[in-house]
Chains A and B, each alone.
Chain A
Amino acid sequence: MEILFFILLIISIFVESTFINLPLVFILLVVFCILKKSGYVFLSAFLAGILLDLTAVRFPGTSSIFFLLVLLMIMLYQRKYEINSYPFILVSSFVGTYMYLIIFNKHANLLQPFLCTILALVLYSVLQIREVRSNN
């Protein structure tokens, strides 16, 4: 799971900075955080953020700060509520993507967060099925 996540993360960084205007890296991190709930996700967020900033002509550290703060909120939320669910994926990916686009792209329409939410739900389903199969 970790290796697959790492490969997807690297691909997403280059795809996002090259030709797709969707926060793929952010979506991946959110889904991975919800599925794994481990501190390992903070390391991934830090490194992915730095690499993404380098390829997208931003000051290094900008994306990392955003990723880490959102992931912290998710981790804090899971202490009281169940986050491993479709409604939580739906809300967190939609709100997070909207915030990301406002901060980094200076504007956002509703289509991009909508697309990202669908992507997050699909990714969550696939990775969850994979996780269940590997546990069995």
Chain B
Amino acid sequence: MQKRKSFFPTFLIFFILSIFIFLLSRLGFLNGLTGFLERATVPLQRVIFGATHSDKWGESAKLKDENSKLASQIVKQSELKRENQALRDQFQTSNPAPRILLPAKIIGNNDGSLTIDKGRADTLKKGDVVVIKDNLIGKVEKISEHLATVSLLTSNIIFTAKTAKTGSVGILKGQSNGMILDNVLLNDHLEKDDLVITKGDEDLYGSGFPPDLVVGKIVSVNKKASNLFQSAEVRSLIDFSKLETVFIITK
């Protein structure tokens, strides 16, 4: 009984204090204070992350190879874009609102998500799209004053995508070990090494992914005549564990 007396009041004080802080932070009363504390911890996180993650460990050669393949795809796409632009001009349609890219340093990377050093104070919003060059990385999931977490494509993200060559449309589902392009009609043609890009379904508020961002490439196709749909395994061209900087598309 004596032992209980010695620790229980201590527990109660800190427990009530924790609940109080939790409630205040949920209601947004502690934004200023947490922002100040985050600003103090971010540099240390950046140093630790920088010391443990580097892009100098042999992955660059593979990426260069992928980039050269992508370059040829981009040339084809740019031709199509020019054609499209001409059509837009013809019909006097206006371009979509210009997008601004905000660079962010990665300060944490674990469990299918990245922690970046930009937050509410940098005009970030939940659902903002994160890219590197024209490759899709994921979207902003949780946000605080000076930090945000980004859900990677390999987490539970679901959106519509299409293949670059054949234009087959399907639903892309992120999984812990990769991505699956699912619900593709059996009549559509899926082929290995074809690039998968975002279809560009956005709602009125701009939530969703902009069109033509590279998601990855098809590594295998699963097609059975007995099934209603076919699917393909998709792998990103980017090694998320080696990333150090990403860009957030803000409107």
Partner of B45, one of A14, A39, A75: A14
| A50 close to chain B: CB less than 8 A | yes
- Assembly CA distance A61 to B25 (angstroms): 8
Asked whether B10 lies within 8 Å of A14 as measured between CB atoms, the reply is no
Q: In this complex, what residue of B is CB-closest to A33?
A: B7
List residues of chain A with CB within 8 A of the CB of B15: 65, 68-69, 72
Knowing A60-B30, A65-B19, say if A72 contacts B25 (CB, 8 Å): no
Contact of B52 (CB < 8 Å), options: A18, A55, A71: A18
The complex places the Cα of A64 from the Cα of B34 at a distance, in Å, of 15
Q: Which positions 54-105 of chain A face chain B at CB distance < 8 Å?
A: 54-62, 64-65, 68-69, 71-72, 75-76, 78-79, 105
Pairwise interchain contact B53-A19, C-beta atoms closer than 8 A: yes
A49 to B19, CA, bound (A): 12
Q: Mark A1-41, 1 if CB is under 8 A from B, else 0.
A: 00000000000001101111100000000000000011100
Closest to A46 in B: B14
Q: Does A45 contact B (CB under 8 A)?
A: yes
Interface of A is mostly: helix
List, in ascending order, chain A residues with CB within 8 A of B110's CB: 18-21
Chain B residues with CB under 8 A of A76: 4
Residue-wise interface mask of B (108-135) relative to A, using a CB-CB cutoff of 8 A (1 in contact, 0 not): 1111000100000000000000000000
- Judge whether A43 and B14 touch: CB under 8 Å: yes
For residue B45, which residues in chain A have a CB less than 8 angstroms away from its CB? 14, 17-18, 55
User: Complex: how many Å from CA A58 to CA B52?
Assistant: 23
Q: Let me know if A123 is at the binding interface, CB within 8 A.
A: no
User: A51 contacts the other chain (Cβ, under 8 Å)?
Assistant: yes
Contact B25 A59 (CB under 8 A): yes
A42 within 8 A of B: yes
**CB < 8 Å: which of B11, B30, B111 contacts A72?**
B11
Pair A39/B19 contact, Cβ less than 8 Å: no
Measured CB to CB, the closest approach of chain A to B125, in angstroms, equals: 14
* A residues less than 8 Å from B111 (CB atoms): 21, 105
Q: Within the complex, what minimum Cβ distance (angstroms) separates B110 from chain A?
A: 4
Residues of A contacting B7 in the complex (Cβ-Cβ under 8 angstroms): 38-39, 42, 75
Hey, which bits of chain B sit against chain A, CB under 8 A?
3-4, 6-7, 10-11, 14-15, 17-23, 25-26, 30, 34, 37-38, 41, 44-45, 48-49, 52-53, 107-111, 115, 142-144, 147-149
